Structure 1
Amino acid sequence: MNINWSLLIIATGLALVFEGIPYFLMAERMPKLLLRLATQPPRFLRFIGLAAIILGLLVISFGRSLNL
């Protein structure tokens, strides 16, 4: 298996950009949102995590199907 390190670094950077957007746009609301998430039951958090994984896989699949 040959790893494309450039693509891996770019993907990591893009993930950091997307992770930072909510903190930049809603800096005042994020602490309240994080406290609210901390009080949610594990089952809800697992569901949100699973939904994010599925959405991410769909986006990757869509991107790969474009054949740019």
Structure 2
Amino acid sequence: MSDLLTALALVFVIEGCILALFPGAPAALYRQLSELPPETLRIAGLVAAALGVLAVWLLRA
């Protein structure tokens, strides 16, 4: 459970750094993402999740 909480804390650190260093970038990205079809977003989400699982598996092996 502590690994999950550590991972979530690191997400907050990374997100906070992005917002602090490039405050306009997330808004521009969200505007671009809102124009994409749902199927594209779904595929991108599945690919990102699969890459994340693969990364965790490789790091834990």
Please confirm whether the aligned pair reaches a TM-score higher than 0.5, indicating the same fold. Answer: yes
Distance 1:55 1:19, change over 3 A: farther
Q: TM-score, normalised by structure 1?
A: 0.71
Distance 1:10 1:54, change over 3 A: same
Moved over 2 A (4+): 15-26
Q: Which runs of 5+ in 1 are unaligned?
A: none
Q: TM-score, normalised by structure 2?
A: 0.77
Q: Which has the larger radius of gyration?
A: 1
Aligned length in residues: 61
Q: C-alpha separation between the residues in 2 aligned to 1:18 and 1:34?
A: 17
Q: Report sequence identity in percent.
A: 34
